Structure 1
Amino acid sequence: EITPNTTVSDIEMELLDVKRQEILRDMGRRGVHVAPEHLEETTERRRLEQSENSGTIQPRLVDSLVLTIAELSAGPVLLGPETTVYLPDMWLSDALFFRLLEKTKVVLGGTVSLFKHLGRKKCIREGMDVEYEEEVRLSPAIKNNTLFRENVAGLPDKSIYLWGVKSLTLKDHTVNLLPKLKLHEDNETEELWLDAELGEHVSSILAAKDSSIWLGRVKSLKLYQHAINLLPKLKLHEDNVLEEELSLDAELREHVSSILRAGNGTIWLGKVKRLKLNHLAVNLLPKLKLHEDNVMEEFWPVTWFGGSVSEKLHAKDSIWLGKVKNMKLEYFAINILPLLKLHEDSEMKELKLDADAEKYICSILRAKDNSIWLGKMKNIRLERLAIKILPKLRLHEDSEIEEFYLDTEFGGDVSGILGAGNRSIWLGKVKSLKLKRYAIKILPKLRLHEDNVMEKFELDAEIEEYVFSIPSAGDNSIWLGRVKSLRLEGSVINILPKLKLHEDNVMEELWLDAAGWESLVWRILGAKDNSIWLGKVRKLRLNNRAVNTLPKLKLHEDNVMEWLYLCVWGRECVSGIFGAEYSSIWLGKVKSLRLERHAV
């Protein structure tokens, strides 16, 4: 450590001169020829300077410096923009190295190895005999100055050695450091994030050969804006697993212009757990190559704007994703669904499709019915116009769906499906089926497994228009199998006679609610008494006009009901039941009976 009171002995001076000359000869052999005046200082001159300053070493502004421990031990120096710093083979702290690139002129005489900055006392380590196995996190925050850009441009490729990099973040002009880095062959990076706002930030790297920048194993890879075009230049370990995510974000066509010229399936990524493609980056899908045994936790391309995907991807493109657990496609991204190739044993936890305009699904509507293989599904959620593509999907014959959810507020969104044959859309086994508004109309088109056991069946229709076409279906024509919980509200109660339950059905709860006009239940009132088979029902709740359906229901002869709850707010709501004979409504055994208001 150099202090104002530090003095240097004659022997130390001579040793410094010897060390300095060794470095100069070594750099000369490497083709780096330097002969700054201060490097040729003699021991006598050093002694004279020390004597004139009464033993006190003052900082000297120098034009050039060979950065070594020996050189700095000779006395403190001042470095500026005009100072040329020569770096032989050595270890530097990351903070010191980036400061030199930003503040001085840097010339390499060998390989510079970086380690984590631990303070001023330990920022330089000489020699390459010992590897300092320290992991660093690089995120240089450097102003875009001319000196830094010139220094980086002059650095040889792979001249900055990093034993281990935990995280690497390069933004804008610092992205040009990437080809200068040399990572350990067994390096594992938790996060690599490249973000280049301007094309000039990556222009020099685009000339590099594909797969020439070794990264090793990377858990999270984020490329934004112009940095996306660097993807073909990167080389990952053949057994790489992107455990966190691969995230590409391109809002402008120029952000992907170079990479679009790459051949399909030429960019090796290995296994990818989460794939997020934003905007125009979705068009890069055919260029990517994933491991044949890939298992993806989440696939979510976001394309709120940027033009129709169908204009950029073609039917001949086949995009291998492997097994996908969660897939979310919205807006323009839905059109890529026919191009995706999933593993034959793929089992998806959730598929969510949403589109609010015809242009988002124009391409996929031309696909044949049952042509888009999805395999086994756990949850399916289709909203608005995305419902139109339901006939195009093909599920595994042994599929067991946890929840099937459809919702749309416009009748035109289901008009195309209404022409399909009844029970023509295979779903397999479904535990929870929920249809809202106009989506209810396609209920007769769905086909469930003959041994289906449904935990919950729910229809939500505020107006009769939502279920207008269903009453034309025959009674007992819509197979549901065994249903544990059945809830119908409003005019949707009228489809109850159309449902067919298993002969041994045991229902935990049946809830019917019709508040308002008599027209809400007028269709079901035309059904015969005891014509609607429910099997065994443990809990039965009827509200308002739904109480009029009680004579129509048929329960198992050995039925044991935990509780029966009837609630009627107006006498007119139960006028239809007054004509029934006493003791004509079979309920079996009832443990708890609760009647409120006019239900009494």
Structure 2
Amino acid sequence: METGMAETLKLGNTFFMFTDRNLFLVPEREYKLIRQLREKEHTFLERRCIPGMTDCGGRVITCIVCIEEPSPEDTISPLCRDVHYVICKKCMEKESKTAVECPFCQEKKSDNKAFQEEILDAVLSRMPHQTLPSLEIGPNMSVETLMRLPRENKVSLNNLCLSDAFFFKLLSKTVLEVTNSITLFAHDNSLDCCLEEIDARTNKPTSIHIGEYTGEEMKQIYENIETMPKNNIQAIAKEIHAVENGICVLLKLLDGADGYIPDLLLESPKEECIKEILGTESNLSWVGKVKRLKLTGCAIQILPKI
């Protein structure tokens, strides 16, 4: 997937949109309207509708690209919670292949991302919708109206093939109930994120990626893994690439794994992620069975446990 291209999590005519508080199931017609407000991971609204933009203490806030102050009617997106800069939608479209970040908040990437999710959540929550008490994912499911599943409500998975992007979103942002096996395939925007079975489109030598998570997401991930059956995750991929605390997720998820294991690429410049692994009683002997193992940075410190 190209850098900067947003993941589209779709199942037939239903699209899944995750925010900090909810999972929204969005019919295609509403999704097309919402997509007009989104560019990469930014949500664009008129300035007067964005939280924090009406009371800036007299500060002049400009677009980080064109350095112009937006009017109340201009469509913009703040780059951070403190609204040091914004970016107007026209400029974002021109910068489609470049990551746009607040220069003052580069150490707060996770908070900036959470802020964007809060804006999106506010937009979706104000639209007419129904609230689901629970959700069972299936390859033939669809919705006709906007549905909202609060974060604390349960999502059920039973003997499914899921894209890696979809599964790890569910794992980190919902309460999961998993029964029987789950097969993961590399995400592709052109494919549904849930399939009945692996076919020629998904059975390819691709890479599954596990990225970095916030503290709240890691807590949810660990709680979900504790309730999952052992050895029920299979990955259809040539390799699994895990970075930062995504390494902890991978090793805990596949703890004591048996059968086929893809090549592993574990990468972490931060020692604290590896210290967490070394401080657990997890059985990592299975890691030594992989055909190809590449450890980068501090990840090399797990060698004594393999």
Scaled to the shorter chain, the TM-score interval is: 0.3 to 0.5
Give the TM-score of the pair, scaled to structure 1. Answer: 0.26
Which structure shows the bigger proportion of residues in strand conformation?
1
Structure label with greater radius of gyration: 1
Give the TM-score of the pair, scaled to structure 2. Answer: 0.47
